[in-house]
Amino acid sequence: MYERWVEKELLKLLSKEGIGCIAFTPLAQGLLTDKYFKGIPHDSRAANPHGFLNREDVTKDKISKSLRLDKIAQSRGQKLSQMALAWILRNAEITSVLIGARRISHIDDAVTTLNNLKFTQNELRQIKTILGSK
């Protein structure tokens, strides 16, 4: 949801060519979960000095957006992580999503996402407003 360049360029090309795509890091290294709502947990990726998510990536802006997105997810009967996966899977060109599960519960949550993949126009409008897109 935070990296949306594929929506402008890649999805059109994939559709035209009849090719699918596998999305990766759909939860923005945990930023699209409730993990960082109350700070950086000691056992999180952001607490690790090495890796793709640094402490500096856990910004007030991203957490604020995630909290606002979480309210929409709750109204959908989902966790933020589930809504983020549904957001990606709403595109027909996306054939799969790599979730990078660290726990069995992450897999359970991801599978439960499949129970609600549809978005209303109002939800899409709210999400795009939060993400700062047109």
pTM of the complete model: 0.89
What are residue 2's phi and psi, to 5 degrees? -85, -25
Q: Would you state the pLDDT for residue 134?
A: 45
Distance (Å, whole) CA 102 – CA 110: 12
Q: Would you state the pLDDT for residue 87?
A: 96
Q: What is the DSSP string of 61-115?
A: HHHHHHHHHHHHHHHTTS-HHHHHHHHHHTSTTEEEE----SSHHHHHHHHHGGG
Q: Would you state the pLDDT for residue 124?
A: 96
Distance (Å, whole) CA 78 – CA 80: 6
Distance (Å, whole) CA 35 – CA 134: 28
Reference 113, options 92, 97, 130, 134; nearest CA is: 97
Per-residue pLDDT of the chain (134 residues; tens, 9 = 90+): 988 888 888 999 999 999 999 998 898 888 899 988 988 877 777 777 777 777 778 889 999 999 999 999 999 999 999 999 999 999 999 999 999 888 899 999 999 999 999 999 999 999 999 998 64
**Domains of the chain in sequence order:** 5-131 (3.20.20.100)
Q: Would you state the pLDDT for residue 133?
A: 62
